[in-house]
Structure 1
Amino acid sequence: MKSYFLLSNSVITSNELTHNEFAVYTYLLSVYSNIRSKAGHEYKRVRQQTIASHCGIKSTQTVSKITDSLMRKGYITHILAAYRKDNRKGTYTYVLN
């Protein structure tokens, strides 16, 4: 398992990402995944609570708003939200574009 990840210079120099969006996006890049789509994209499966704790964000609602914003800006795509036994959304699967 590699202990580094590549980050495009355009992400670093972009003025369109807030500091929280940058933190979440780079965290998602750093999450190890051995699952790939046919197109070669990595699937990142991670709970919003985990994202919040690793990025210093207080609530999962804020993480949800940030991931929605990253989707609108074209950085990520949600492809699946797993449902728990209590019928609440659990782990999300993301594709980084």
Structure 2
Amino acid sequence: MCGGCGGAPPDWAAELVRGPRRRSAVARRLSELMARDRVDAFPSGWTVRAATGSTVLCRTYDELVAAVSRRTGIAPDIVSAAGLGAEHAQPR
């Protein structure tokens, strides 16, 4: 049953991705990394949709980064930085 778990799991990035505008911005930035797939935001997470119609539900930012990384072949740290945007990128 969807929603039976009582809420989303803890997410270290919650402060950075909370709210519809931030969540949508993350979805837009990560969608730009993918050729055919798309990331969509919803109130408690994201979906990663393939051109074939398959969908992965991501409840935390790390789940989203892992899904996008698997589909693109881009390293997770690069995907994470891209999703959070330049204002939150860590210096290397």
TM over 0.5: no
TM-score with structure 1 length normalisation? 0.28
Larger relative strand fraction: 1
| Greater Rg by CA | 1
